[in-house]
Amino acid sequence: MDRYQELITLIETFQDDFRKFYGKGNASAGVRVRKHMADLKRKAQEIREEVQSLKLEKKEEQQSEP
């Protein structure tokens, strides 16, 4: 569940810039929103790769058991 908490914390850090951009139309905040979304994409990909790796490890362990 640490990974889940990492995502929640990451998203919470975006809140001010989202409000500034969508609520007030602040263009600079829009640039930061785009950066935040790229960070989120990288984190999501990292987690996806980890999940796949853990699945493969588990599958290999099950196949090696007599």
Tokens for 9, please give them: 């914390």
> Which tokens go with 29?
């905040």
The more confidently predicted of residues 65 and 56 is 56
Instruction: Compute the distance between CA of residue 48 and CA of residue 42 in angstroms, rounded to an integer.
Output: 10
Amino acid sitting at position 33: V
The label of the residue with tokens 């990288």 reads 42
Alpha-carbon radius of gyration of the chain: 18
Predicted structure pTM score? 0.81
Q: Where are the domains of the chain?
A: 2-64
Greater pLDDT, 66 or 57: 57
Residues 7-59 pLDDT 10s: 999 999 999 999 999 999 999 999 999 999 999 999 999 999 999 999 999 99
pLDDT the model gives residue 61? 87
